[in-house]
Every structure is written in structure tokens, then in C-alpha cells.
Amino acid sequence: MQIKVTAGDITSIKTDGIIINLFEGSKKPDGATAAVDKLLNTVISQMLSAGEFKGKLNEVAVIPTFGKLPAKKVAIVGLGKPEQFALDRIRQATAEAARTLRNSGAKRIASIVHGAGAGGISPEHAGQMVAEGAILGLYTFAKYQTKSGNSKQVDEFLLIESDTQKIPAVQSGVKKGEIIANAVNFTRDLVNEPASVMTPTELANRARKIARQVGLEIKVLGRPELEKLGFGALLAVAKGSQQPPQFIILRYWGAGKKSKLAPVGLIGKGITFDSGGISIKPWSGMDEMKADMAGAAAVIGTMVAIAQLKPKLNVTALVPATENLPSGSAFKPGDILRTFSGNTIEIVTTDAEGRLILADAIGYAKRLGLTPLIDVATLTGACDIALGPFTSGAFGNNQQLIDELIQASKPAGEYIWQMPMFEEYAELDKSNIADIKNIGGRSGGAITAAKFIEFFVGDTPWVHFDIAPTNFVGTSEKEKHYRLRGATGVMVRTLVNYLLSTSLEMNKRRGK
């Protein structure tokens, strides 16, 4: 889909549908909405006074114009109460309105830049949010739907701004929003793909292909290299599978290879299917375990965006990828593994496999000297039970880093909640036979999993995101705005924001 910014008046655009807005509590329309209202013989004003439209956040009414305007339909979207207005509301409202128009058959859409006139929001941010909302909200994964699949698709999305002075800023926001939202959708595509397609080898191949396109350095370690380097945990999880494990290394050198500052390390859990292994899971919900590589997909998607946004900093992403399957050659409860770092792990359940492959990846990240470390993983059902479907858990050993990431998550519209990491929890992971065991019991399961990772991290500043709650919208959930069924692509927007603001900070400190 093409997004274009043009100067003009939304009332004179010939297209399938135009998007205008209204704040909740408005007595009468103003701005572009008032102009449209007038041409529609005040139907919007009448809807308002009759209580047929209230302007509640993401409320959408589609009004056919019957020739009163060059556009065939008008979608009016509620922005909620003005005092609660925020960047993510622009994203949500755009997504909801665009999706409603698309579902009513519109192929060409034009929109005003919501928020570009509102106090406190820059035209650049407004443009970025509208672009993100449109691209995220119109996402589909229809490649396996033989007939209905691709019939309803928007080809053109125009942003109309009447104030020509704002156009360059809106345009640059749109560019940024396109890069970020397309990276989120790339992440969603990786996750939505069935596990029999998205094997570790396929994940590596997709990473290679996109790395070539956007200009990222890539290296993939296969079984022979992993054996030589001693990735004992990753290799153990891979033992039950016919598919060879892969360890994907993506590197971005925006500050140059000679920079004295260490690269930031991103690590993503890449279990392309989690059956539980010998400790096999029950059938219910196992289909969603194709998404157990959502952390991997998120860090790859983040690198794809960063390579195009080109901030002056270095970032390296590490992705341990394997299936977790039961078979005659699978690893077993009671086994003891030796990790990349030399520490040993007692296996109590083969279903706590994510932390095992992360242990190897963290060891390797430390060998490369990456800092800080940020891992993203669909790690525990316990985190989902604790936080519910809208919030990712954050765990770490460095409050400043956690605060910076939470700050970055706000304009991203991604909820993050910090979880406790008191030292007593580490005792629950103690093993009688190895250095640590891979399960700390049912209670506090998300925390003992984070404590397990911390054991391998040591003192390096680190944050772990448990995205088991947020990575996937199940079939029973109702879709709204850009929250569509299947993969969410969670954490890409937060990580990109974080990396852009750290690079700004670093360069400020260096006086650039």
C-alpha cells in the first residue's frame, strides 16, 4: 500500500472514502469535520445532537455521500476525550477507521492528519501515527485463504494536510511510521507462518533475505559450529527435532566498527514450535506454540527498522532457533546440560526450554561484549496469568534501563509492567545436582524464569521482556483498531523508540 502526503482540502478529494474525526464531548464539529458536515447538509451535527455519534475513542460511523462530495463515503472516527488524547489514540483511531472503510469495499482512502493541529503533538508525530495506524490496522495474513484472501485490499492511502507549512514535517513522520509499521508487519508475518514452514532454517533464510535488502551484516551458525563452540543447551533442546538448530547473528554498525561504545545486544527466543518435548503439553492451545519464536521475530523486525532509520549506534541481535519436539533422540527430564558459559543445568521439565536456549545466547552475547542486554521471549504461561493479554512483563537488574524502556513503550502504545526480582526468588532455582535447575516451581513462575536468565547474565545491565501474554491475539478475542487476530509484533515499536532515543542521548553526551 502506498501512503502519500498532499496539500489540499479533504472535501475536494475524489476517492472511495475519507476519514475525519471528532472529540468526545464536542457540541459541534469543527475544522475539516465542520466543512464536511456543511456539505452533507449537517448530518454529522444532527447525529451528534441525537446521540447517534458520541466521538468515543475508536467509534466509527460510515456515511455515504451520494454525490454531495467527490468522495463516495465519509468515515468519522471518535478520538475520545480531548484531555486523554495521546499518540497511540491517533494510531488506534486511524486503524479502526481505515479497517472499517476497507471492509466496506474502499480501495482508495484519504485521511486528515489527526492531531496535527492538537496542542502538544507535532505534525511529524501526527504523520507518523497516522501512517502506523493505517499500515498496522490494514494488515492481513491471507496467503493461505484460497478465495476470499486478497479480495479486500487498500491500494492507496492519502494524507491530506491543508497547512502547506506542515507538509515537510508530516512527510518525514510518515516515512518513519512506514518503516516502523512495515517492520512490525514483517514480524507478524514471521510469527503467523505455520511452524512446518517457519522452521529454524526458514527463519534464518528470511533473516538473510531481509538483511540483504536493508543492509545488515548477518551470520548464521549451524549445528557443526554450535557443537564446536559448545552451545550445549541449544543443541540439547534441538535433539528431538529433525530440523537443525540455527543461531542467527544480525549486526548493525551505525556508529562504525571502531566506536568505543559496545553494541547494544538484543536477544530473541526462537522456538519455532514448542510441543513441550518429552514433558509434552496438552493439545489445547498447542497450535499457538508456532508463535514461540515471537521474541526472535521481534528482534529481527527491530533490526530491520533500525537499518532503515540509521541511528548512530551499534546494535547486535542474537537469535537461538530450534524446535522443541519429543522423539527417541530428544533430551529428557533429569538430564544435565553444559551451556556455552560452562555452567550446568539440571532439566526438570523439557517444557522450560526457552530459558535454556537464552542461557547459551546470553553467554555468547557476553563473549561478544554486548551491553546492555535486552531479551524478548514468550517465556512463561505464568506471566500471562499474572498480567492478562495486554501487558508484557519486564524484569531486570538495572532500574535506569528498565525506566528507559518503559518510557520508550508509552508512545509505542505497548503496555509494560515491571515485575519483582528480589533475591529470595533465585533460591527456588537451586539444584542439588547441577549449578541451577530449569524450573523454580509453579508459584512465581515468571519471576523464577527471569531469575534463571539473570544467573547467566551476571552484572551486565539487562532487561528481560516476557511477551507470553502479548505476542498473540487468540481466535476467541474480538478484533479492535490494530489489535488483530494472530501475531501482534509486540516490542518492535518499543525497542525501536528505545534505540533511537539512546542514540540521541549518546550523541548529545559526545556533543554531536
Provide the annotated active-site residues: 281, 355
Determine whether 208 is exposed, middle or buried from the number of CB atoms within 10 Å of its CB (0-12, 13-18, 19+).
middle
Asked if residue 353 binds ligand BES (CB under 6 A), the reply is yes
Q: How far apart are CA 72 and CA 83, in angstroms?
A: 32
Least spacing, CB of residue 343 vs ligand BES, in Å? 19
Q: How far apart are CA 26 and CA 146, in angstroms?
A: 45
Asked if residue 358 binds ligand BES (CB under 6 A), the reply is no
Number of residues that bind ligand BES (CB under 6 A): 16
Asked if residue 375 binds ligand BES (CB under 6 A), the reply is no
Indicate which single residue of 189, 202, 351, 429 sits in contact with ligand BES (rule: CB under 6 A): 351
How many beta carbons lie within 10 A of that of residue 273, not counting itself? 23
Q: Rule CB under 6 A: which of 454-493 touch ligand BES?
A: 468
Q: CB under 5 to 8 A by kind: which of Mn ion, ligand BES, Zn ion, none does 80 bind?
A: none
Choices 49-57, 107-115, 132-140, 347-355; region in contact with ligand BES by CB under 6 A = 347-355
What residue has cell string 541449544? 234
Q: What angle do CA 6, 8, 9 make, to 5 degrees?
A: 135
Q: Name the residue nearer to ligand BES (CB basis): 285 or 420.
A: 285
Indicate which single residue of 16, 24, 292, 384 sits in contact with Zn ion (rule: CB under 5 A): 292
Indicate which single residue of 352, 406, 450, 492 sits in contact with ligand BES (rule: CB under 6 A): 352
Q: CB under 5 to 8 A by kind: which of Mn ion, ligand BES, Zn ion, none does 445 bind?
A: ligand BES
DSSP SS3 for 20: strand
Max Cα-Cα span within the chain:
80
Per-residue contact flags (x/-) with ligand BES for residues 432 to 451, judged by CB under 6 A:
-------x-----x------
Indicate which single residue of 274, 414, 435, 454 sits in contact with Zn ion (rule: CB under 5 A): 274
| Amino acid present at 23 | F
Q: How far apart are CA 101 and CA 91, in angstroms?
A: 16
Number of residues that bind Zn ion (CB under 5 A): 4
User: Is the preceding omega at residue 372 within 30 degrees of 0, hence cis?
Assistant: yes
What residue has cell string 527491530? 302
Q: CB under 5 to 8 A by kind: which of ligand BES, Mn ion, Zn ion, none does 126 bind?
A: none
Per-residue contact flags (x/-) with ligand BES for residues 277 to 296, judged by CB under 6 A:
---------------x----
Choices 105-113, 157-165, 377-385, 456-464; region in contact with ligand BES by CB under 6 A = 377-385
Q: Which residues of 350-380 are buried (b: 16+ CB within 10 A; e: fewer)?
A: bbbbbbbbbbbbbbbbbeeebbbbbbbbbbb
Indicate which single residue of 276, 354, 411, 489 sits in contact with Zn ion (rule: CB under 5 A): 354
Indicate which single residue of 202, 274, 384, 404 sits in contact with Mn ion (rule: CB under 5 A): 274
Least spacing, CB of residue 276 vs Mn ion, in Å? 5
Contact predicate 96/77, CB 8 Å: yes
Q: How far apart are CA 293 and CA 390, in angstroms?
A: 19
Contact predicate 196/241, CB 8 Å: no
Query: Which residues are CB-contacts of 316 (< 8 A; sequence separation ≥ 6)?
Result: 249, 250, 251, 252, 263, 264, 265, 266, 365, 368, 370
Rg over alpha carbons for the chain, rounded to the nearest Å, is 24
Nearest residue to ligand BES, scored by beta-carbon proximity: 381
Identify which of 179, 139, 176, 174 has the alpha carbon closest to the alpha carbon of residue 158. 174
DSSP SS3 for 393: strand
According to DSSP, residue 269 is labeled -
What residue has cell string 533429569? 334
Q: Rule CB under 5 A: which of 297-356 touch Mn ion?
A: 351, 353
Indicate which single residue of 349, 407, 431, 507 sits in contact with ligand BES (rule: CB under 6 A): 349
483 grid coordinates: 489489535
What residue has cell string 534464518? 204
Asked if residue 37 binds Mn ion (CB under 5 A), the reply is no
Least spacing, CB of residue 483 vs ligand BES, in Å? 17
Per-residue contact flags (x/-) with Zn ion for residues 64 to 103, judged by CB under 5 A:
----------------------------------------
Q: CB under 5 to 8 A by kind: which of ligand BES, Mn ion, Zn ion, none does 404 bind?
A: none
Indicate which single residue of 193, 274, 375, 435 sits in contact with ligand BES (rule: CB under 6 A): 274
Identify which of 322, 366, 357, 342 has the alpha carbon closest to the alpha carbon of residue 462. 366
Q: Name the residue nearer to Zn ion (CB basis): 354 or 372.
A: 354
Indicate which single residue of 378, 397, 460, 470 sits in contact with ligand BES (rule: CB under 6 A): 378
Determine whether 197 is exposed, middle or buried from the number of CB atoms within 10 Å of its CB (0-12, 13-18, 19+).
exposed
Asked if residue 381 binds ligand BES (CB under 6 A), the reply is yes
| Amino acid present at 250 | L
Residues that bind Mn ion (CB under 5 A): 274, 351, 353
Residues in touch with Zn ion (CB under 5 A): 271, 274, 292, 354
Binding residues (CB under 6 A) for ligand BES: these are 274, 292, 349, 351-354, 378-382, 384, 439, 445, 468
